[in-house]
Amino acid sequence: MSRIAYVNGRYVPHAAAHVHVEDRGFQFADAVYEVCGVRDGRLIDEEPHLARLDRSLRELKMKRPLGDAALRHVMRETVRRNRVREGLVYVQISRGQARRDHAFPPPDTRPSLVVTARTIPAARYDAWAAKGLAVITLPETRWARCDIKSTALLANVLAKQQAREARAFEAWFVDRDGFVTEGASTSAWIVDAEGVLRNRPLSHEILPGITRGEIVPLFRQLGIDYQERPFTVAEAKGAREAFLTAATIGVLPIVTIDGQKIGSGSPGPVASGLRKAYWSTRE
Ligand code: PDD
């Protein structure tokens, strides 16, 4: 089946979908994005993803190309036209097309909107969940506003490639004081040596992960002791469990960090329990 993309008001064949060479997203990464999971053809956690998109736009003084209802419609329509039952929908908004100049373009410049959707079988993630993932750690090299979901992802790209070359799924960034910030495309968690579930408090240093926010109410339900407190690489390596969260993948357990076994070396009960509970509350 041929894929379809939405580009600035039109549904076009994916293979022919393009933006202008002077689109500010292309030239300056002057753009924001969202990735929303799809299950049974439905968008997962749509509300908080759209709220974060608005926040990213606001923080960068960028205009919205479409109203709320129209944008939701385009997302659904792109999912439908691509017959995605399991997978993701990607939304990107740039500051638009204008003659290259670093400062903002004229105020009447129309922002660009691109929406794509792709099938990814959930079984792929279930297989990873059963086996557990490997993570490496790297020095933090990103800019000072990681809370904005911008397409300026070069440091994340380099980190992910390094992970891939090390046969790991993810790279965790580590700040100057030795504390983990987050993964190149996921939020980072541990169950420490005392059995306390920990993650880093929100700040400009990390993305406010939607999956992160959505699993918090499950902690009480599952009787999990939780503290929003940063953790060091050493604490992570000595932890009972480690895991990561992100849209589409949900909760995935980590079994090694820098090649060192975490806990028993197999997926832990907290990560597995949260994974199950997260998906069952989204059915
Ligand atoms: N990444 N941290 C970073 C740096 C991310 O890029 C992401 C998401 C997350 C998890 O956030 P959420 O739970 O809202 O997906 C944390 C998406 C999936 C991506 O870039 O493809």
| Residues within a 6 A CB radius of ligand 1 | 35, 182, 185-187, 207, 209-212, 245-247
pLDDT, tens digit, 9 for 90 and up, residues 182-224: 999 999 999 999 999 999 999 999 999 999 999 999 999 999 9
Domain boundary among 120, 145, 174: 120
Query: Residue 153: its pLDDT value, please?
Result: 98
Residues 161 and 110 in one domain: no
Q: Which atom of ligand 1 has the smallest separation from the CA of 182?
A: 2
Domain boundary among 81, 105, 120: 120
Supply the range of the domain harboring residue 35.
4-120
Structure tokens at 279: 């998906």
Q: Which atom of ligand 1 has the smallest separation from the CA of 187?
A: 16
* CA of 186 relative to ligand 1 center, distance in Å: 5
170-174 and 133-139 strand pairing = parallel
CATH code of the domain covering residue 187: 3.20.10.10
Residues 130 and 269 in one domain: yes
* One-letter amino acid for residue 245 of the chain: T
State the helix-helix crossing angle for 210-222 and 269-280, rounded to 10 degrees.
Answer: 110
| 92, 74 contact by CB (below 8 A) | no
pLDDT, tens digit, 9 for 90 and up, residues 4-20: 999 999 999 999 999 99
Domain boundary among 98, 120, 142: 120
Which one of 63, 149, 160, 261 is the catalytic residue? 149
* CA of 35 relative to ligand 1 center, distance in Å: 8
* One-letter amino acid for residue 124 of the chain: R
Structure tokens at 19: 């933006």
Query: Residue 283: its pLDDT value, please?
Result: 80
Query: Residue 2: its pLDDT value, please?
Result: 79
Measured CA to CA, the distance from residue 145 to residue 255 in angstroms comes to: 30
Measured CA to CA, the distance from residue 122 to residue 87 in angstroms comes to: 7
Residues 115 and 130 in one domain: no
pLDDT, tens digit, 9 for 90 and up, residues 63-110: 999 999 999 999 999 999 999 999 999 999 999 999 999 999 999 999
* One-letter amino acid for residue 130 of the chain: A
In the annotation, is 149 catalytic?
Answer: yes
* CA of 234 relative to ligand 1 center, distance in Å: 24
Residues 55 and 152 in one domain: no
Q: Which residue's CA lies nearest to atom 6 of ligand 1?
A: 185
Q: What percent of the chain has pLDDT over 90?
A: 99
Residues 213 and 273 in one domain: yes
Residues 62 and 170 in one domain: no
Structure tokens at 235: 């604490």
Given the structure tokens 């064949």, which residue do they identify?
13
**Cβ contacts of residue 108 below 8 Å, gap of 6+?**
none
Which of 197-224 are b and which e, b meaning 16 or more Cβ less than 10 Å from the residue's Cβ?
A: bbbbeeeebbbbbbbbebbeebeeeeeb
Residues 271 and 162 in one domain: yes
* Structural domain count, the chain: 2
Residues 219 and 175 in one domain: yes
Q: Which residue's CA lies nearest to atom 11 of ligand 1?
A: 209
Q: Which atom of ligand 1 has the smallest separation from the CA of 146?
A: 4
User: Which of 3, 29, 31 lies closest to 91 in space, CA to CA?
Assistant: 31
Residues 163 and 202 in one domain: yes
Residues 249 and 152 in one domain: yes
Residues 247 and 264 in one domain: yes
Structure tokens at 41: 């053809």
Phi (first) and psi of residue 268, to 5 degrees: -90, 165
Q: Which residue's CA lies nearest to atom 1 of ligand 1?
A: 185
Pocket residue to mutate for ligand 1, from 207, 212, 244, 245, most atoms within 8 A of Cβ: 207
* CA of 76 relative to ligand 1 center, distance in Å: 20
Confidence of residue 30 (pLDDT cuts 50, 70, 90): very high
Q: What does the mean pLDDT of the chain come to?
A: 97
Confidence of residue 1 (pLDDT cuts 50, 70, 90): low
Residues 67 and 198 in one domain: no
CATH code of the domain covering residue 20: 3.30.470.10
pTM > 0.95: yes or no: yes
